[in-house]
């Protein structure tokens, strides 16, 4: 490893200045947001598959045969 006059090894940057600027832009554009979600009694996101099925059954109508 090559030594400098001050006896510290030469540091090689892992990313270019453009990569660092792009990373800053991404972090600003993708800021975290607080999200609240409804939870079903079973612990899944509401409506769970069983609630969707029950809603479908309740909304179904039986037509009189002709």
Q: What does the pLDDT read at residue 63?
A: 72
pLDDT of residue 51: 94
Residue 66: pLDDT over 90: no
Q: pLDDT digit string (tens) for 8-51? A: 666 777 888 899 999 999 999 998 888 899 999 999 999 999 99
Which residues are CB-contacts of 15 (< 8 A; sequence separation ≥ 6)? 23
Q: Count the Cβ atoms, other than its own, within 10 Å of residue 51.
A: 14
Cα distance between residue 59 and residue 18, in whole Å: 56
User: What is the torsion angle, in degrees rounded to the nearest 10, for the CA atoms of residue 11, residue 12, residue 17 and residue 23?
Assistant: -100
């Amino acid at each position: 490893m090559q030594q400098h006059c001050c006896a510290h090894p030469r540091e090689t940057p892992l990313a270019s200045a453009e990569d660092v600027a792009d990373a800053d832009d991404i972090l600003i554009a993708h800021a975290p947001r607080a999200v609240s979600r409804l939870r079903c009694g079973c612990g899944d996101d509401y409506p769970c598959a069983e609630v969707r099925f029950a809603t479908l059954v309740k909304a179904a109508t039986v037509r009189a045969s002709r």
